[in-house]
């Protein structure tokens, strides 16, 4: 009953930018934190950025200074701004939410992923 949906992935040239969106819907009591992860072919999923309900943000070293996670003005929506993209950023990007549904405890919810491909 809780859904996490990402969008915005695309095929872009190196140096270009993208904005990914993550929309959380359903029976939501509260959201403790949101995060973006990515997984490249043949590699394990890795953390990209996190945003707590208190506004604290953290980034992986590989994207620090280039990516930005922020809460959108739209309710229960989080953005990931990807700037100065590199071919190494090519991956499926997943949105994750630590969310409490009505009558339940906090659980991790994952989106289906959105593909970002950066060419040279």
Q: 79, 95 in Cβ contact below 8 A?
A: no
Which of 88, 100, 81, 80 is closest to 27 using CA atoms? Answer: 100
Cβ atoms within 10 Å, residue 56:
9
pLDDT category, 73, cuts 50, 70, 90?
confident
pLDDT in tens, 16-66: 999 999 999 998 999 999 999 999 999 999 999 999 999 999 999 999 999
Q: Looking at residue 32, what is its pLDDT?
A: 92
User: How far, in Å, are 13, 23, 55, 72, 87 from residue 75 at the CA level?
Assistant: 31, 8, 15, 7, 32
């Amino acid at each position: 009953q809780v859904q996490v949906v990402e969008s915005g992935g695309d095929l872009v040239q190196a140096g270009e930018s993208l904005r990914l969106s993550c929309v959380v819907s359903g029976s939501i009591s509260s959201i403790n934190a949101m995060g973006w992860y990515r997984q490249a072919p043949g590699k394990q999923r890795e953390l990209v950025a996190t945003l707590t309900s208190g506004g604290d943000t953290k980034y992986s070293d590989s994207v620090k200074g280039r990516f930005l996670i922020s809460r959108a003005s739209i309710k229960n929506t989080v953005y990931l701004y990807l700037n100065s993209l590199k071919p190494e950023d090519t991956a499926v990007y997943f949105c994750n939410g630590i969310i409490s549904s009505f009558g339940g405890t906090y659980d991790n919810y994952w989106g289906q992923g959105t593909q970002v491909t950066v060419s040279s």
